[in-house]
A and B are shown apart, each in its own frame.
Chain A
C-alpha cells in the first residue's frame, strides 16, 4: 500500500496526463488530416493507435531513457552526452562523456567491473575457450566450465541440480511453457516481471493474478479457482503453479515467502520463485530470500534466477530436483536450440560464487555482503529523513523514490545528470500510471563519502521538483542551539 498526497500528487498527475492525452490526440488528428493515408494497398504497420503512447508521451522525454555508457558499470560510469535537433524525436551521440556516480546499475556486489580474483580467470578462459561456444548445449556447446557452473549454482542455491541458460529473460519465457500447458493454472503476483507474463501467455495455461504480496488474497484466489476448475468444462486443473519474485525490482519489497509457501503447500500448488534481484544480494551468505526467511529450499519447487545483477555476468538458471532438471534438459527449447552461455561469462559466475562463499581464500565476499546491507540501510534512512517518499523493505538494495508526476521525473533525471549523478527514472507503462518513480540501486562498491554527496544532489533535485511529500525529520542539535539563544 502506498500513501499518496491527494492534491499535489494525484490530481495534478491526472490533470497532467489528460492534458497530454488531449494534445496528443489533437496533433494526431491534424497529422492524419494533412497527410492522409498513402500506403496504397498495404496494411498499416501499427494497428489503430498502438504506438500512440510511444510517439506522444515517450518521445517527449526520450533523453532520460536509454542513455549510452562508455565504460564498465562500476560505482562511477562514463555517460555519453547526446543532443537533439528535432525536439527529442531523434537523439545524436557526441564524442564527449561525463563521469557520473552510478546509482542505476544493478551492480549489487560490485562485480560489474574489474575484480582482482574474477577478471584474470575470465581472461584466461577467454583465451582458452574463445568468446562463444558457437553451438547449442546438446550439440557441441557444453564445456567443462558449463558443467562446473551448473554444479556450483546448484550447491550455492541449495538444490540438488540446476540448468543454466544464456539469457535471463529467455529463461522465464522459455521455461514456463515447458512446465505447464493448456489445462493448467498459473497464479502470478500482480507485479511480476514482463518475462514471466510473456512466458505465462505463451504457455496457453489460464492465468490468474493475486494482489501484490498478499498471501491472504492468494489463498482466496486458489480456493476460488480450485473450486471452479477449468473454464467452461469445470474439470480439475492439471497442475497449479504460483509464481512470485524474491525482490520486486520496481517496488524494492521482498516477497512474504514463508506465508506463500505454506498456502501453496496447503492447496498442493507448485511454487516458482524468481530470484533475479535477490540472489547474491540478500541473506546472510547471499543465498537469497530463502536464506533470509529460513525457508527450506526443498519447499520451493522451482528456483529461478539471473546472473546479470549480483554476479556481473549474463544468463539465467533454474534450480530444482534432479527429475525436474533432467526433464528440462530434454524438453526446453532454450537448452536444445539456443546457443549456450558464453564460456568466459560462465567462468565469471563461478569465480563470483567462489568469492561470495569465501573459497578464494579471502573474506571479500562477506565484506561485500555486509557493505551492501549497510549502504542500503544508510541511504534509505537518510532519504526518508529528508522527506522523500521511499518505498521498499528494510535491507533491500533497491529503493524507489516516488515522484508520481511524469513531468517531474524528466526534470529530476535531467537535473541529476547535470550534477553528474546517473539515476534511472521509471514511469508508465512499466509502473502504474500514477506511480512514476526514480529507482536507486545501491551497490557494495559505493563508498560512504560518495553516497553522502549523492544524497546532497538528490536533495537539491528534490527541492527543485517538489517531490519531498513528507515532512523532513527535524535536525535535533540545531534546534537546541536556537533554544539556548
Chain B
C-alpha cells in the first residue's frame, strides 16, 4: 500500500520530519507497544500500566518538546537556539493540525489512564497534574513565554 509524500517547505531539519505521512500512526503505535512492554515487565494491572505510560510520556515529551532548546545539528548556525521544539514546529504557526494532534494525545492518554484505574486516588492526582502541565504548555499564549525565568537563556 503506497502513500504520496509532498516535499515540505520547512527548512528547519529538526521539525520537518514531523510533516511527513506516517508520523501520527507511529506515535500512537509506540505508545501502544510501550503499554504492552510495561505490562509484561512489571506484571501489574492494565490501569497501573496506563498510568505509568502516561507519566513516562509526560516526562519524555515535556523534556524534549518544552525544555530542550535548539537543534541537534550544528550547521544551522544557531538560529533556533532560543526556541524549544514545540516553538519551532510548523515555523511557529499556532493551531495547525500537528499541534492539535499533539495536544489531544496526552488528553486521550489521561482519559484512558483514569478510566482504567477507576479514578482512584494517588494515580488520579498524578495523572491530572501531568495533563494539566502538558496542555497549558501547549497553549498558543505560551509561545516563547518563560514563567519566572525558568529555562530562559543565560
* A190 near B5: Cβ-Cβ < 8 Å: no
Interchain CB contact under 8 A, B16 and A433:
yes
Interface assignment of B71: CB less than 8 Å from any CB of chain A: yes
Least CB distance from B15 to A in Å reads 10
Q: Is B97 an interface residue (CB 8 A)?
A: no
Stretch in contact with the other chain, from B19-27, B43-51, B111-119, B143-151: B19-27
- Shortest C-beta distance, B16 to chain A (Å), equals 6
Are A432 and B16 in contact, CB atoms less than 8 angstroms apart? yes
Does B68 count as interface, using CB distance less than 8 angstroms?
A: yes
Interface of chain B residues 38 through 86 with chain A (CB within 8 A): 68-75, 77-79, 81
Q: Return B56 CB to nearest CB of chain A, in Å.
A: 12
Chain A nearest CB, measured from B57 CB (Å): 13
**Which segment, of A45-53, A285-293, A437-445, faces chain B?**
A45-53
- The reply to whether B22 and A11 contact each other, CB–CB distance below 8 Å, is yes
B3 contacts which chain A residues (CB < 8 A)? 3-6, 10
Q: Which residues of A contact B78 (CB under 8 A)?
A: 47
Interface flag for A363 (CB, 8 Å): no
Report the separation of the CA atoms of residues A52 and B4 in the bound assembly, to the nearest whole angstrom: 30
Report if A371 contacts B (CB, 8 A): no
Partner of A5, one of B2, B29, B73, B74: B2
* Complex contact B4–A3 (CB within 8 A): yes
* A65 at interface by CB-CB < 8 Å: no
Do B5 and A18 touch (CB < 8 A)?
no
Tell me, rounded to whole Å, the shortest Cβ–Cβ distance linking B66 to chain A. Answer: 15
Chain A window 1-38, contacts with chain B (Cβ cutoff 8 Å), 1 for yes, 0 for no: 11111110011001101100000000000000000000
**B17 near A11: Cβ-Cβ < 8 Å:** no
Binds B, one of A115-123, A143-151, A208-216: A208-216
B16 touches A197 (CB 8 A): no
- Contacting B at CB under 8 A, from A337-362, are none
Residue pair A54, B7 in contact (C-beta under 8 Å): no
In the complex the two chains form, what is the Cα distance from A209 to B11 in whole Å? 8
Q: Which of A4, A18, A49, A209 contacts B72 (CB 8 A)?
A: A49
Cross-chain contact B72 with A212 (CB below 8 angstroms): no
Contacting pair B17 A50 (CB below 8 A): no
Give bound CA distance, A342 to B71, whole Å. Answer: 39
Cβ of B75: which chain A residues have Cβ within 8 Å of it?
Answer: 194, 429
Chain A min CB distance to B98 (Å): 15
How large, as a class, is the contact surface on chain A?
35 or more
> What A residues does B8 contact at CB under 8 A?
190, 432
- A53 with B5: CB separation less than 8 A: no
In the complex, the answer to whether A197 meets B11 with C-beta atoms within 8 Å is yes
Q: Is B100 close to A, CB under 8 A? A: no
For the complex, what is the distance from the CA of A53 to the CA of B13, rounded to whole Å? Answer: 11
Instruction: Let me know if A201 and B17 touch, CB within 8 A.
Output: no
A-side contacts of B72, CB under 8 Å = 49-53
- A11 in contact with B4 given A52-B72, A53-B73, A190-B11 (CB within 8 Å): no
Cβ 8 A contact of A50, one of B2, B26, B74: B74
Residue of B nearest to A52 (CB): B72
Q: Does A372 reach chain B (CB closer than 8 Å)? A: no
**Which one of A17, A52, A54, A211 lies within 8 Å of B9 (CB-CB)?**
A211
CA distance A54 to B72 in the complex (A): 8
Q: Known A3-B2, A5-B2; judge A434-B17 contact (CB<8 A).
A: yes
Known: A6-B22, A15-B26, A433-B16. A1 touches B5 (CB 8 A): yes
- Specify the chain A residue showing the minimal Cβ separation from B91: A209
Q: Is A270 interfacial (CB 8 A cutoff)?
A: no
Q: How far is the CB of A2 from chain B (nearest CB, A)?
A: 5
Q: In the complex, which of the residues A5, A10, A209 has the most CB atoms of chain B within 10 Å of its own CB atom?
A: A10
Q: Which residues of chain B are near A409, meaning CB under 8 Å?
A: none
Chain B contact residues, CB within 8 Å of chain A = 1-9, 11, 13, 16-17, 20-23, 25-26, 29-30, 68-75, 77-79, 81
Question: Could you give 11 example pairs across A and B, Cβ below 8 Å?
Answer: A5-B3, A11-B26, A14-B22, A14-B26, A18-B26, A48-B69, A50-B72, A51-B72, A54-B74, A210-B9, A433-B17
Residues on A close to B: CB < 8 A? 1-7, 10-11, 14-15, 17-18, 46-54, 190-191, 194, 197, 201, 209-212, 428-429, 432-435
Which 9 pairs show the lowest CB-CB distances between chains A and B?
A10-B22, A433-B17, A14-B26, A52-B72, A212-B7, A53-B72, A50-B74, A209-B9, A3-B2
